[in-house]
Structure 1
Amino acid sequence: MRRSEFLRAVDDEFGRRADALVNDLVLGGIGMTAHDALDAGVPPREIWLALCVEADVPAERRYGVGRIEPRKS
């Protein structure tokens, strides 16, 4: 997952709450906000999954999101 895919996934999943979650919510599994984790070089996929856990995103909406087009088999 690229940074752009992460940001698209957050925006798609959380809408108006996206900015607040990325900038204010400290992710338990990472120990910092998503914004700080991105700046620190934490892989976006790891941040996305930690954010999903914190925000109770169902498992079926956690994988493959953020891509403009689905990955081809």
Structure 2
Amino acid sequence: MKLQEFRRAIDDEFGPMGPVLMRDSVVVELGNRTPDEALAAGVPARDVWLALCRAEQVPPSRWYGAGRPDPRDR
């Protein structure tokens, strides 16, 4: 997952709350870091996306940002 795809997935899933989650949500799966901190530390965007989806209880059917096609396009 490219960083641009990651940012688009964050915007699509979380809307205006996306930047807040990126900055303020401490995710245990990311080593007790925020998504922004994890990305800065070199954690792949796909791993950050999946960890954030799990932490925010996003249904797996909407994890398309992890390289899956958007199901709305079918």
TM-score, normalised relative to structure 2: 0.83
Q: Give the Cα separation in 2 of the matches to 1:43 and 1:55.
A: 18
Q: Which has the higher strand share?
A: 1
CA contact (8 A) 2:50 2:66 kept: no
CA contact (8 A) 1:34 1:47 kept: yes
Shift >3 Å, 4+ stretches = none
Identity of aligned residues (%): 46
2:72 counterpart residue number: none
Question: Structure 1: any 5+ residue segments left out of the alignment?
Answer: none
Aligned Cα RMSD in Å?
A: 1.5
Residues 22-61 of structure 1: pairs in structure 2 closer than 5 A: 22-30=22-30, 31-61=32-62
Q: Which has the higher helix share?
A: 2
Task: State the SS of the aligned residue for 2:46.
Answer: helix
How far is 1:28 from its partner? 1.3
Q: Looking at both structures, which has the greater relative contact order when contacts are Cα pairs under 8 Å and sequence separation is at least 6?
A: 1
TM-score, normalised relative to structure 1: 0.84
Q: Give the Cα separation in 2 of the matches to 1:66 and 1:60.
A: 11
